[in-house]
Structure 1
Amino acid sequence: MAEHNPFPGENNTGHVWDDNLRELDNPPPRWWMLGLWASLLFVVGYSLLYPTWPVGQEPTQGVLGWSQMQEYARGVEQVEAKRAKFEDQIRGMTANEILADPGLTQYTLASAKVLFGDNCSACHGSGGQGNPGYPVLADDDWLYGGTTTKIAETIAKGRQGAMTAHQTILTPAEIDTLAEWVVQMSETGGKGGSEEGWSLFKTKGCTACHGQAANGVLVELGNGDIVTVGAANLNDGIWRFKPGGYESAKHTITYGVNQATVPESRNAVMPAFAEAGKLSEQEIKKLVVYVHELGGGK
């Protein structure tokens, strides 16, 4: 830095580097100063009109009395006003009647998507693909039936199936035979299965829950509904508890499902959304339509 200013009269600060690099002391452009003062005036005006400065737990209110919550409430009112005619129609209809109307079906599906995301996706996945330990809803395999009546019953009242732990009822060899038989049945669509496995299935009480045909159905009703206790269909390749296969079948047979006194037991509980007050009748109806269409309900 130079000791003396070699550029007198230039309005610089006297700081010079490398003989000719210096720091000037000129005022900012007028337009920049006008912008600065305008922005300061804007802040003052905004602070007077809108909530701005924190005072305790609340901000200053502003002379306009505007708030984001009021804006949100007005937005909700506008949305509800547009939905009102559809909601009124749905309120007086059954799920089957909604499904018979393409326009109302599309509205219900769009409306129920949020309900499904808030209440169902944590267990069943955002697309109904299921998470580990929870049923897939995006297929046509139903533990309790896929009619709108059964789906509504499941959502409203919940489900809690049960399977006895057979660790003290069957011998290890019998458990192995049944586990292998279950795999054989799943791989052949119910057309296979050893004679020894069929014999154990029928003599050890398995038909009481899984049905005579091992398809999980006890009685088929004329309206399409089925009588079932939620036992799995052993004739398909769909496994209630992943990853499936011999070891999975052996674990379920040995330790059962929802057996409170057996630590290794499988857990399978569906909440009762109506009885818990979590969903209204209208919301359940929407979810019935959504789940029915998601999984190709019957």
Structure 2
Amino acid sequence: MSDKHDAGGVPTTGHVWDDDLGDFTNQPPKWWMLGLAASAIWCVVYFLYYPSIPVSNAHGYFKGLGHWTAITEMEADKSVVDEVRGKYEAKLKDMTPAAILADSELTEYVTRSGKVLFGDNCAACHGTNGVGTVDKQGLFAPILRDDDWLYGGKIDDIYTSIVGGRQGLMTPHKGVLSDQQIDDVAHYVKAMSDEGKSAADTDSAVAAGKKVFTESDCTACHGADGKGMQAMGSANLTDKVWRFDGSLEGIKQTIANGVNAGPDARIAVMPSFQAAGKLSDAELKKLAVYVYKFGGGQADAPATK
């Protein structure tokens, strides 16, 4: 301790460094000691109140004097949420999806809760927010945000699709039509989408394809104008929306092998969520309203997805 800095009579530990440095033996401030003691008491109380160390008995661990568990806290929080949701859930039981849409407050509730249901049950195929997906084999899960619907995009149509599922069927034409005929029809179908039917008639291959299209069973499902039939779920061939590969080779493959009709056929199956038994009737309604609120099904244009 230097002569210029007198210890003022405060005792030291007796240790000296560098000839003049020593340690005082002052006690910490009382507020600091009280805080230390309070912290120690708090640790003991916390340790005793909540589950802590494992013990060698049938319970497996010390459960704590408060018997707290994460499960009981979750259930308490859930009961609060269920109480808030209860008035809405009670109304849903006896309402149709269309009636739900007519109630703005209930629609807002259903849209918010339907987002979770869609993420858990639908997003794997249709993508987040219904943007659609395409896998490595070119299998396409339809976009739910546009106005192109095979089975109709109105609220009742969507509900029916979710509840009962959908499974399209197109017979394979390999063996029924020659390779040349399949090629011609593919050119005609491609031209209808790319150019419009009137412009397509000028090409010889397309003209030949039109003749095959008209004389074979194509018109029975897709109509003489190629615009499809919603009641059958047959595709509109005159727009630029394709369920599968819309290239010339892709169209030929679909015509030759069909859809859901054999080992080489295209696969287009929407499962029945009601038959699966995973979702309640109220949850099926929520999904229908949620998908409808994407906006695609609300247009007045002809629905042909």
| TM-score with structure 1 setting the length | 0.79
Identity of aligned residues (%): 44
1:5 paired residue number = none
**AA of the residue aligned to 1:50:** Y
Displacement, 1:36?
6.2
Q: How many residues align?
A: 274
Displacement, 1:260?
3.8
Per-residue CA distance 1:198-218 (angstroms, 9 max, x = gap): 22222221123223332221x
Are 2:235 and 1:232 aligned? yes
Are 2:139 and 1:135 aligned? no
CA distance in 2, matches of 1:284, 1:178: 40
**AA of the residue aligned to 2:271:** P
CA distance in 1, matches of 2:236, 2:26: 85
2:157 paired residue number = 150
User: Does the CA contact (< 8 Å) of 2:163 and 2:274 recur in 1?
Assistant: yes
Displacement, 1:55?
4.8
Displacement, 1:237?
0.7
**196, 206, 231: which one aligns with 2:208:** 196
User: Does the CA contact (< 8 Å) of 1:111 and 1:286 recur in 2?
Assistant: yes
Displacement, 1:139?
0.7
CA distance in 2, matches of 1:250, 1:28: 92
**AA of the residue aligned to 2:270:** M
Are 2:191 and 1:184 aligned? yes
Displacement, 1:195?
2.9
Per-residue CA distance 1:7-55 (angstroms, 9 max, x = gap): xx986698x9xxxxx9x99999678787666555433322211122245
CA distance in 2, matches of 1:210, 1:28: 95
Q: 49-58 vs 72-81, which deviates more?
A: 49-58
**AA of the residue aligned to 2:254:** T
Are 2:244 and 1:241 aligned? yes
Displacement, 1:175?
1.9
Are 2:171 and 1:164 aligned? yes
| TM-score with structure 2 setting the length | 0.78
**71, 76, 96: which one aligns with 2:78:** 76
**AA of the residue aligned to 1:144:** Y
**AA of the residue aligned to 1:112:** G
1:74 match: secondary structure: helix
CA distance in 2, matches of 1:245, 1:235: 14
**243, 249, 255: which one aligns with 1:253:** 255
Q: Give unmatched runs, 5+ long, in structure 1.
A: 1-8, 17-21, 218-225
**AA of the residue aligned to 1:63:** L
Per-residue CA distance 1:55-105 (angstroms, 9 max, x = gap): 588543211111111111111111111122222222222111121222222
Are 2:268 and 1:268 aligned? yes
Per-residue CA distance 1:223-279 (angstroms, 9 max, x = gap): xxx411x2221111111125x3222212212222223432xx322211111111011
**AA of the residue aligned to 1:233:** N
1:292 paired residue number = 292
CA distance in 1, matches of 2:125, 2:131: 10
User: Does the CA contact (< 8 Å) of 1:190 and 1:236 recur in 2?
Assistant: no
